Amino acid sequence: MRELLTTEEAAEFLRLSERKLYELVAKNAVPCTKVTGKWLFPRTALNRWLTAGMAPTPISREPAPPIVGGSHDPLLEWALRESGCGLASLPEGSGEGMRRLTGGEIMMAAIHLHALDEDGEQTNVARIADTQDLSDAVVIAFARREQGLVVAPGNALKLADLASVAKSRARLAQRPRGAGAQLLMMTLLAREGVAMGELALQQPVCATGDEIGHAVRAGRADCGIATRSVARTAGLDFVPLTWERFDLALRQHDYFLPQPQKLFGFFRSGPFAERANELGGYDITDIGSVRLVN
């Protein structure tokens, strides 16, 4: 069963005449998007629209600013530059990316969310699906990433997990509240039975994973949670802790715009696959696949 319906299929699905459907489109009252001159209608969004009683709530189709916000990732940052897609980068953490996407301040949010009571493979999808103001969003798979402790070469403190970080009083660099890595840290602490107060948390917080690497390399911290690619780029050692989902969320009507499509096309290129392998800690098997149409 196809997710995107043509005008004829959507009219049949809604039991309306095509003329009536076009009238609703003209009023911005029905969820749809225009691709190469043709209207397409997401089946899931139409179902939601029907459930809501076909209320003629205007749906904005003004393109969002061409910015990718949310979480920082070395491979994504490289792809934004090398693809020539024209999308700028504003890495502030997953939580802030969600906020800006909801408010229409960015075109795309890079997210890796974590919660103790949720399946980590589905947390990103579940959070977007549950956000009322993102009922027209789509989630695109980017990669599964390896997260762990970034430590100095040799790992002199023999750190193996957050329990050993707490026991040794190792200085732990941290990310801002709401950042995916900080959510991951809190989830892992709960699983290991370690209280936040047992950690020697360092200030100021690090805005990105790269800054975690800089803090460890400069000796301002003994460790911090970041990806394997951050550790490798910084010439540091890495203690693996878990794999996570790293996804891209954007609104359906922005998905087909030239900038995202150029970026998504670059994901399928040879140079991109080579870079992912070079950085390490990425599984890009299903990159570009649609994980959710809200």
Q: Spell out the residues 6+ positions from residue 29 whose beta carbon is closer than 8 angstroms to its own.
A: 56, 57, 58, 59
- Tell the burial category of 113 from Cβ atoms under 10 Å away from its Cβ (0-12, 13-18, 19+): buried
pLDDT at 58: 45
pLDDT at 115: 82
Query: Can you tell me the distance from the alpha carbon of 215 to that of 62, in angstroms, rounded to the nearest whole number?
Result: 41
Contact between 145 and 73 under an 8 Å Cβ cutoff? The reply is: yes
Contact between 214 and 108 under an 8 Å Cβ cutoff? The reply is: no
Contact between 292 and 140 under an 8 Å Cβ cutoff? The reply is: no
Tens of pLDDT, residue by residue over 174-213, are: 999 889 999 999 999 999 999 999 999 999 999 999 999 9
Q: Spell out the residues 6+ positions from residue 203 whose beta carbon is closer than 8 angstroms to its own.
A: none
How many Å is the Cα radius of gyration of the chain?
A: 21
Contact between 159 and 165 under an 8 Å Cβ cutoff? The reply is: yes
Contact between 82 and 94 under an 8 Å Cβ cutoff? The reply is: no
Tens of pLDDT, residue by residue over 4-40, are: 888 898 888 888 888 888 878 877 778 887 777 788 8
pLDDT at 175: 94
Per-residue pLDDT of the chain (294 residues; tens, 9 = 90+): 577 888 898 888 888 888 888 878 877 778 887 777 788 888 888 887 776 655 444 444 567 899 999 999 999 999 999 999 999 999 999 999 999 999 999 999 999 999 877 667 899 999 998 888 888 899 999 999 999 999 999 999 999 999 999 999 999 999 998 899 999 999 999 999 999 999 999 999 999 999 999 999 999 999 999 999 999 999 999 999 999 999 999 998 898 899 999 999 999 999 999 999 999 999 999 999 999 887
pLDDT at 61: 54
pLDDT at 1: 56
Other residues' Cβ atoms within 10 Å of the Cβ of residue 242: 15
Which domains occur in the chain, in start order? 4-51 (3.90.105), 67-141+245-293 (3.40.190.10), 147-243 (3.40.190.10)
pLDDT at 203: 94
How much is the pTM? 0.79
Looking at every residue in the chain, the average pLDDT score rounds to 90
